Amino acid sequence: MGTTEAVPGCDEHCASEGSVRKSHHSEKTKNNLVTRLNRIEGQIRGIKGLIEKDTYCDDVITQISATQAALNSVAKLLLEGHMKSCVVERIQEGDHEVVDELLVTIQRLMKK
Span 54-105, pLDDT tens digits: 999 999 999 999 999 999 999 999 999 899 999 999 999 999 999 999 999 9
Asked if 9 and 20 touch (Cβ cutoff 8 Å), the reply is no
Superfamily of domain 27-110: Metal-sensitive repressor, helix protomer (1.20.58.1000)
Asked if 40 and 70 touch (Cβ cutoff 8 Å), the reply is yes
Please check the confidence at residue 37 and state whether its pLDDT lies above 80: yes
Domain ranges of the chain: 27-110
pLDDT in tens, 21-30: 777 778 898 9
Helical spans, DSSP H, in the chain = 27-52, 57-82, 88-92, 97-110
3-state secondary structure of 3: coil
Rounded distance, CA 44 to CA 50, Å? 10
